[in-house]
């Protein structure tokens, strides 16, 4: 076992720290392009889950701009990050290492949720909720797409 085998799960966990549904939406998009993940993930082979992951990813991007959007560190926000990071981390881990990939992604997502929230609050104070959210969206969606593209390319 090499520690570098778990770099993609750690990175997708970082993505989940800022946008809980982006990891699953990124993997679903890769599935639509007939790309396979290294780890076994049968859920996103089902159309309902693929479309659902994409819809939830898009919905989160819109919902985050609402004034009533809760912090990502509330219980349900952290729970969504744990679930999404765990599933995506397992999918991006080498076959047979799915459990280690899930744990790595969750271990990355939860503490980074507090750090990304602090950064977002500073950005909101400087430029407002919508503008800071759009910038964060662009960075996080690009990071999610890049991590998944690199993990599934071979």
Give the integer Cα–Cα distance in Å for 128 and 133.
8
Report pLDDT for 142: 98
**% pLDDT > 70, the chain:** 97
In tens, the pLDDT along 57-98 reads 999 988 877 778 888 999 999 999 999 999 999 999 999 999
Q: Is the pLDDT of residue 8 over 70?
A: yes
Distance of CA 80 to the CA centre of its chain: 10
The answer to whether 93 and 38 have CB atoms below 8 angstroms apart is yes
Q: Is the pLDDT of residue 10 over 90?
A: yes
Q: Find, among 81, 101, 82, the residue nearest to 91 by Cα.
A: 101
Tally of domains in the chain: 1
What CA–CA distances, in Å, run from 121 to 21, 68, 87, 109? Answer: 20, 14, 28, 18
Secondary element (H or E) of residue 20: none
Confidence band, pLDDT 50/70/90 cuts, at residue 1: low
In tens, the pLDDT along 30-50 reads 988 989 899 887 777 788 988
Report pLDDT for 47: 87
Give the integer Cα–Cα distance in Å for 140 and 83.
18
Report pLDDT for 118: 96
**% pLDDT > 90, the chain:** 75
Give the integer Cα–Cα distance in Å for 107 and 2.
18
Range of the domain at 54: 3-152
Question: What does the pLDDT average to over 138-142?
Answer: 97
More confidently predicted of 125 and 71: 125
Helix (H, G, I), strand (E, B) or coil at 93: coil
Report pLDDT for 62: 87
Q: What are 142's two structure tokens? A: 């690009």
Count other C-beta atoms under 10 Å from residue 117's C-beta.
16
Report pLDDT for 3: 63
Q: What angle do CA 105, 108, 55 make, to 5 degrees?
A: 60
Q: Let me know how many helices (H) and strands (E) the chain has, helices first.
A: 6, 0
Q: What is the pTM of this model?
A: 0.91
Give the integer Cα–Cα distance in Å for 101 and 1.
12
């Amino acid at each position: 076992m090499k520690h570098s085998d778990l770099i993609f799960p750690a990175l997708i966990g970082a993505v989940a720290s800022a946008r809980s549904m982006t990891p699953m939406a990124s993997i679903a998009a890769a599935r639509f392009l007939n790309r396979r993940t290294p780890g076994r993930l049968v859920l996103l082979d089902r159309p309902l889950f693929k479309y659902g992951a994409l819809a939830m990813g898009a919905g989160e991007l819109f919902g985050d701009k609402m004034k009533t959007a809760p912090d990502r560190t509330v219980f349900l926000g952290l729970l969504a990050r744990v679930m999404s990071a765990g599933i995506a981390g397992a999918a991006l881990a080498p076959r047979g290492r799915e459990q280690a990939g899930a744990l790595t992604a969750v271990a990355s997502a939860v503490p980074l949720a507090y750090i990304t929230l602090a950064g977002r609050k500073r950005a909101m104070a400087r430029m407002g909720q919508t503008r800071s959210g759009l910038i964060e969206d662009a960075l996080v969606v690009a990071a999610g797409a890049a991590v998944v593209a690199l993990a599934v390319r071979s």
